[in-house]
Amino acid sequence: MKEAKVLATLIPSIPEYQPMIKALRDKYNLPEISLDDEPIKEIFLDDRIVALEDFHQEIVNLVQENSDFFTSGSPTEKLYKQGKQLLGKPLILKGYEKLLPKKTKKAITDIYDISQKIMEVVVKLVDEQFKAIADIIYIYLLTGEAGEVPQDWFSRVGEVKIDGEPYVFVLASQIVDPDIISHQFREQYTKTFGVHKPKMTDTVVTTAYYLRLKKMGKRWDYIVEEFIRINKFTLPRDRTSKRYFDVRRKYEQTLKKRMQRSQTVLDIIARDIK
């Protein structure tokens, strides 16, 4: 992806990272090398060899500390910082355990659990962004090459569970090809939920009213009359004529088939949700 290559090439020149790169060069006495030079294979600190893994981790820490990654005060910044502090920690209602009703405590706990899941996604995504930047600077310092930013910088399709139920999420920037991200979403959807489920069509939605009347014990004749009235179907004026009964029976059979099909769709959806 050309965009990924361009962004990776420019990252070492970002003003907030230049002082960090200079400080690392000064600390470890690293020369500035070009693409034609031999890569740096060993680094030293006071005549002591520093493990490249430790050097890389130091860069990750510095990127996290120095990145102006968020818009100041943005919801993402707040979620990330709160997530770093609260992720994995239990909810404590100190002093309120006996005062709050059970339903209220459960509602608060459910909201906290959902917020934990949201923070988990945000923290993971942002930490991966920091690591990707650190990887680029690490490679740049040792080889002069900038590498390439990962594809999921521009989009991410994944699965998260909230209250035990799976959800598929999509994050995409303007730079992403919508056809590609749509394909990735379909793949993740199938992986998470299996084969494509029946669609909740307008017919199913409007038929739900008649299903409700049936479940509430309303007379079948009343339900048929409601179907005819709401849809503004016309019936012959002579209620004793054969044509009247034939037309009414046609509408009745149409409603019956719609209710059967709609109930099948709803049963499948309800079964898969359980």
Question: Which structural domain range is residue 174 located in?
Answer: 154-196
Q: Based on the domain organization, do 146 and 158 belong to the same domain?
A: no
**Does the pTM of the predicted model rise above 0.75?**
no
Q: Let me know whether 24 and 83 are in one domain.
A: yes
Looking at the fold, whether 170 and 240 belong to one and the same domain comes out as no
Q: How confident is the model at residue 3 (pLDDT cuts 50, 70, 90)?
A: low
The model's pLDDT over 223-241, given as tens digits with 9 standing for 90+, comes to 999 999 999 999 999 989 9
pLDDT tens digits, one per residue of 183-233: 888 888 888 877 666 677 888 888 999 999 999 999 999 999 999 999 999
- C-alpha 20/C-alpha 147 separation (Å) is 18
Residues 14 and 139 in one domain: yes
Domain count along the chain: 3
